[in-house]
Structure 1
Amino acid sequence: MRIFFISSGCGFEFQNHLSDEDSNILAGFQSIGKKRSDFHFDKFMIRQDKRKELIPKIKEFRPDFILVFRGPFLPAHYVTSIRKMKIPIGIWVVDDPYRLKTHKELVQPYNLVITQDSNSVSFYQELGKTVLHLPLAVNPDKYRPMNVGEKYRSDLCFVGSAFPIRIRYFDQLTPILLKNKTKIIGQWWEKLKNYSKLKKCVLNNPIPPDEVIKYYNGAKIVLNIHRTNNDREDNPKNIAAHTPNNRTYEIAACKSFQLTTWRTDLYQHFAEEEIASFHTLGELKEKIHYYLSREEERAEMAAKAYQNVRRMHTYQKRIHDLLEYLENHVHYKKNRG
């Protein structure tokens, strides 16, 4: 099989507009390529490669399937041109259900929609689209256990942007956060009501993945607070998110203990003895107190989650599942003649 990958063009400037997910997916393709002699892939890097080279590069490579990641910087007329070449093209969207209103228009020209959230599948089916649920995952060669210095050590650590639910939680958790050694890392945290009190705990800007990994490894508890369904007002039906976020897998791959928001699919991906979860702010407070004093239990759970994620939730595994789907799918069969 021949797969052509078009990157998202997302990512911070320090990533050269190549998001962490883009690079991890590419690593997954490379791993598959080393193991399968019948698999070949090529790529086009949005905002790095010249746009005028896209169609000629596709024609030269002659792919069986084109995978577009996220797709915000690929104009629809390119997708239409590719379809006229009788090459099936799919888009993997990874902000569901938070951006379903935007995605409703974005996915229209594609043969296949891949969504990272299981509860968003029916939304696309109602639009008449062929849909595959493919959760996010982890690159275990990048996210891995390591020893880190004092700079990265904490009792409580959170990495991510200051979306409304997180601001509300951390404002109300302020006494607990100040009582313990806490690190909050990401953008927009100046919005906290208690920012002046918590400022010493906050690194108020995004950091590269190789730094994120160190903070995960240095924490006793990594907090993984998921977003609410419509925090960007781009999910008008308020469809609930069911599938865990990418951090769930990344934290586990660092062999770090995490305390995460409960989601419907969480314990389909992990066992309850692997990852601790909470439903409410009150339960989160109780579990922070409980697990901070139980180092051995944290280590046991983290070790089990680590084994699980390396076995079942790598990008290599996700891409294997995607290829298996394509090899049995009507679009791919048509293209193969």
Structure 2
Amino acid sequence: MTQALLCMSHSPLLEHVNPPVEVKAAVEAALDQARQFVLDFNPDLVVNFGPDHYNGFFYDLMPPFCIGYEALGTGDYGSWEGSISVPTSISEELAQYVIDQDIDTAISRRMEVDHGAVQPMEIIYGRLDQTPLIPIFINSVARPFTKVSRVRKFGQAVGEYFKNSDKKILFLGSGGLSHDPPVPQIATATPEQRALLTNGRNPTPEARAARETRTIAAAEAFVRGEADIMELNPEWDRAFLDICKSGQVAKFDSYNPDDMDAAAGHSSHEVRTWIAAYSALSACGPYEVTYEFYKPIKEYIAGFGVTTALVK
């Protein structure tokens, strides 16, 4: 078995809020399972499909997909800050292969990735400057969105490139599930928010701290039932996980942004990272989901899921 998968929700609130003790213990146990799965598989290379929350990608130029040739962490919410170990030559070959399959992708020779992309790697390894990692950005917050079928085909192309690799490859997807945190929407943004969404690079420590404090406060208000945030949708989440488990990734093609907003929140589009990862794994052969965890957790403003899978 030379390909494996880990998909998991992320939350910048993991270290900043306090869910009930039994909930926190359940999440920690799930993360322990994920960590052990990856360490046992011992990948030579991680292909990391991640979103961004207007920390590395902005409306001054917003691609649907971007493959990183070199990358660094932004350090938001105390996440990894600094250099990431990217095998540039493999990233270059991967991007050319994907383009040759008629799937256009942007590339970056200085990709900035935030907590949404790096948190799973930090949970597993603690660092991002040692294990080789190819960061792949999937736009998951900024309209207009590309069709979900294109996300599937993009992931499939990535998987096809690695199908016959002599390296052990871990496909990693990070985000979702039902999820409506207080990320500004361009259609309703204030002038100050619009400036952030268009070019909010390199904020001052004070500006970053204020933004993070607002998110923490929103989570606390959500738990009290006082926040203007959509409720989590466990039914939607479980239906999504059922498709992941089925191996029939083409079923994701029926998802559309308006329905996702209405049913599961404005950041439910982060499941695009899972769709890309599962499609990549599927391109390598039939797979089996070996572990699944799910719990709706208001303190994290997320339907929180963790899955692992192996090619049969």
Task: Tell me if both proteins adopt one fold, taking TM over 0.5 as the criterion.
Answer: no
Normalised by the size of structure 1, how large is the TM-score? 0.27
The answer to which structure has the higher strand fraction is 2
Q: Report which structure shows greater RCO (CA 8 Å, sep ≥6).
A: 2
Q: Which has the larger radius of gyration?
A: 1
Normalised by the size of structure 2, how large is the TM-score? 0.29
